Amino acid sequence: MEAEVECFPRLRQVLFLFCLLAQTVAEQVYIVAEERDSGSFVANLATDLGLGIRELSLRRARVILNSNKNHFQLDLQTGDLQVNEKLDREELCGSTDPCELQFQVLLEDPLEVFRFKLMVQDVNDNSPVFPEAKMTLKILENTPPGTVFPLKNAQDLDVGINTIQNYTINPNPHLDVLTHRGREGRKYPVLVLNKALDREEQNELRLTLMAVDGGAPPRSGTALVVVDVLDINDNAPEFTQPLYQVKIPENSAIGSLVVTVSARDLDTGVNGNVFYSFFYDDEDISKTFEINEITGEIKIINILDYEKTVSYEVDIKASDGAGLSGKCTVNIQVLDINDNAPEMKIAKIISHIPENAPETTVALFSIQDRDSEENGRMICSIPDDVPFFLKPSVENFYNLMANAALDREARAQYTITITVSDLGTPRLQSQHNVTVHVSDVNDNAPTFSQALYTLFVLENNSPALHIGSVSASDRDAGTNAQLTYSLLTQDQATQQPQGQGPEQVDVGALVALDAASGQLFALRALDYETLRAFEFGVRASDGGSPALSGEARVRVVLRDANDHAPRVLYPPRNGSAAGACPELVPRGAEAGYVVSKVVAVDGDSGRNAWLSYELLQATEPGLFGVWAHSGEVRTARPVSERDAPQQRLLVQVRDHGEPPLSASVALHVLLVDGFSQPYLPRPDAPAGQAGQAGAEALTVSLVVALAAVSSLFLASVLALVAARLCGRGGAGAGAVAVGSGCGVSVAEGRFFPAGAGCGGVGPLVDVGGAGTLSQSYQYEVCVSGGSGTGEFKFMKPIIPDLPPPFSGKELEENPDFRNSFPFS
């Protein structure tokens, strides 16, 4: 249902009438004479409105008339209302008196309407004019004195005092003229017979009839009246009724019968034949109606228009064949039909309004309907589904206003249909569409598609590499939606290499952000081992005033590349002082005997740091094997007497990167008959030197053995007791070195060869959870004294829990996985 606003307030709507009257300025009335020249002064509107000349100009005052012609103009420099074109009262108002013109003065910014009324004063600029220059009147010679003969009246377009006031005739003894006033105020002449006529004495009289108006100076018009004196015709035609009242709708078809007048004549013959005609030769009547001279039927010959002429007064003349006549009047009332749709005229329209502006005036318009009464009453309405309403202003003016702040993001354009309907039957209406565009205001901040962006970058990237992008959107439009991206550089790296905490990083030196597209680029090669991840903020700012912005976080995570080869920690590489120190293995060792362990680390992480060990070369193939995942070197079978005493093993350590990187190390093993041999030659010593050294060493060994056997035995016992007291778990925490020859050192569960020719005790290497080794390996040892050889007996290794994915449970439950290792 559309909201309807009644254009003319009803009496019972007291509140609405009070609001309307509160907005209406007291009506000013001005008087101006017609025929004034263009530019003539009418009034000073600035003074009457109580406004200054400058304010009148600043508020863009203009004059609005109900007609389409600009009869007046407003001089904004002086505030004077002036005649724009010469006024003709007769053209503007016709016979209506007084002649009133209504106009409004529209002031913009703020919007205000003032109503004025202007009276056009008549000037005696039209002379009376008779419809015929010569009128013929036939009078019987036996007509008694005092008989009245009506004459055709003159017409004067002026009104009031300037119209016809009286009629005169040139003096004569028989006839005189009297001036009579009709029902509508028109004055018409009648001839009065003062003295009987005698045809034989004078058969014709020529009289000059003069119509005089009341202007100053007066104007006049004349016509010739010819009086023919006839022989006796006893009876003149008489109408059945002197006045006919007729009402006819304005939409009557052409040819419709209005009325039939009837007159009778008591005479017979030619004197009894009656002929009908219009008494006055009025142009409007003759163009609108016709009368049948025989039947007296009056019919419509032109379209009637109530808005132009409300009524017609038609005088009908009935004449017989002898020249006698009678007169009657037909009063035709034109009934209004609802044949005019309401009209709407836009005085001001604002097609673009900013969003968030409350109760903004969009348009000012006026409505009118040329019909009358109920047919001219109007109501205005707009659809209910638009955020606008109609506010009545003065008279028939309305304001179209927004009833709340508009949101361009919800709807950017409205088309409001203003419907004006009258109350006639059937109802007529007209519609006018007003299009309103909602202008954007910067009321929406940019929003990123994600609060946190996570980007993955492979290390060792090339500079200027595109690593990702951020994206934000803004619901505004135009400049308010043009986004510019920037970095927030005051951030910390979220992750550093192991053992280091967060520290300040210069994000601007690491990445660059394209301000227009939001694309991120790495400015230099990144190193995973130096900086594993860093986080920074980005901002998106729009182009509004003031500018709004939104922020998001970007986390760059580096992915490790296999750029570090494994590094062997034990045994030391060739070139060190203990590089050729061999591992000692008793010849009675069984299969699975732990010879040594190759310890290696990798600077990479993940799969790139998963290490596997492989035996590439061996002096005795099949004698030794390497545990693929721990690097332990064990005997693959029992050691026999036939095996060479010096064994060289080449072990390769390889990671699981793409492509895989590897390193190799040589391990020297000596097969001994227990650990009682006094001297063990270096693997690379010449044969002659070895024999000579052996002889000298034998003598020294015998002397030293006798002196040290007691202390050695005592030290061994003390060490054994201490190890038992501290527990098996703590046995690997200390380091023991026994003997003056090549013996074995125990340091945190690992064995290193030491003795003569080795330069002292071999280096102790910490592999307890460092590098790629996540667990410590411990062994139980038993030291036997009394022999003087410093012999160790390897009881059994304590295998720790394997790190994922190589757990002990997997070895037990997965035979295939367990069989992939050379030893169980």
The whole-number mean pLDDT for each consecutive block of 10 residues of the chain, a chain of 824 residues, reads 38 35 54 78 81 81 74 79 78 77 80 81 83 87 87 84 87 89 80 86 88 88 89 81 93 93 84 87 88 94 90 91 86 91 89 84 90 89 91 88 86 91 90 91 92 93 92 91 87 47 73 94 90 92 92 93 89 58 87 91 88 91 90 91 90 91 91 62 48 55 67 80 67 33 35 36 36 40 38 40 39 42 38
- Residue 380's nearest CA partner among 368, 370, 372, 371 is 368
Q: What distance, in Å, lies between the first and last C-alpha atoms of the chain?
A: 92
The whole-number pLDDT of residue 7 equals: 38
Rounded CA gap, 701 and 568, in Å?
Answer: 35
Rounded CA gap, 16 and 4, in Å?
Answer: 13
The whole-angstrom distance between residue 241's C-alpha and the CA centroid of its chain comes to 78
The whole-number pLDDT of residue 574 equals: 60
- Alpha-carbon separation of residue 76 from 45, 52, 189, 728 (angstroms): 10, 10, 52, 113
Residue partners of 566: CB distance under 8 A and separation at least 6: 600, 601, 602, 611, 653, 654, 655, 661, 662, 663
Pairing of strands 62-65, 99-107: antiparallel
Q: Are 605 and 495 spatial neighbours (Cβ–Cβ below 8 Å)? A: no
Q: Are 608 and 561 spatial neighbours (Cβ–Cβ below 8 Å)? A: yes
User: What residue spans of 618-660 are helical by DSSP H?
Assistant: none
Rounded CA gap, 155 and 221, in Å?
Answer: 9
- Kindly write down the DSSP assignment for every residue of 586-617, as one continuous string: ETT--TT-EEEE-EEE-SS-GGGG--EEEEEE
For residue 217, say if its preceding peptide bond is cis, omega within 30 degrees of 0. Answer: yes
Rounded CA gap, 439 and 353, in Å?
Answer: 6
Pairing of strands 220-230, 134-140: parallel
Rounded CA gap, 174 and 165, in Å?
Answer: 24
The whole-angstrom distance between residue 495's C-alpha and the CA centroid of its chain comes to 42
Rounded CA gap, 290 and 260, in Å?
Answer: 11
Q: Are 174 and 225 spatial neighbours (Cβ–Cβ below 8 Å)? A: no
The whole-angstrom distance between residue 558's C-alpha and the CA centroid of its chain comes to 40
